[in-house]
Amino acid sequence: MTSTEHVDHGHQTGHAEEGPHDESHAHKPNSFYIKVAIALAIVTAVEVGLYYLDLGKLFMPTLLILMVVKFVTVVSLFMHLRFDNKLFSWLFYSGLFLAVFVYLAALMTFRFFDGS
């Protein structure tokens, strides 16, 4: 009978600690991303809950702040933007600021903040 021996051919198993990869590019465990997703779901639930509360003039700024928090979280963690070229970060964040500016300009055009 012949015996079967395990031969290591140098294949990487996908673990972050193996191989020549930089430690800053190490992948987080799945539990980390699940916790982030739960946190994003909680922020979304808060946004929905704010609709039913009467916050007056604080309503829209609060929603905009929560929107920015969710955007930055998704872009930096799920899209791994911090590992990419800085140009991509600049494009995403300038797009965010442009969108918020246009949205606020549209709200001011419709006199949303007058309180009427």
Whether 4 maps to a domain, the answer reads: no
pLDDT of residue 45: 95
Q: Is residue 80 part of a domain?
A: yes
Q: What is the pLDDT of residue 34?
A: 92
| Residue 3 counted as domain residue | no
Whole-number pLDDT of residue 113: 63
* Host domain of residue 43: 29-114
Residue 15 lies in a domain: no
Q: Is residue 70 part of a domain?
A: yes
**Model confidence, pTM:** 0.62
Q: Tell me the Ramachandran region of residue 14: left when phi exceeds 0, alpha when psi lies from -120 to 50, beta otherwise.
A: left
| Domain tally, the chain | 1
User: Backbone phi, then psi, for 53, in 5-degree steps?
Assistant: -100, 150
42 lies in some domain:
yes
| Rounded average pLDDT per 10-residue block, the chain, 116 residues | 53 47 66 92 94 86 89 82 80 87 85 64
Residue 21 lies in a domain: no
Question: What is the structure's pLDDT at 19?
Answer: 45
Residue 11 lies in a domain: no
The confidence score (pLDDT) of residue 14 equals: 47
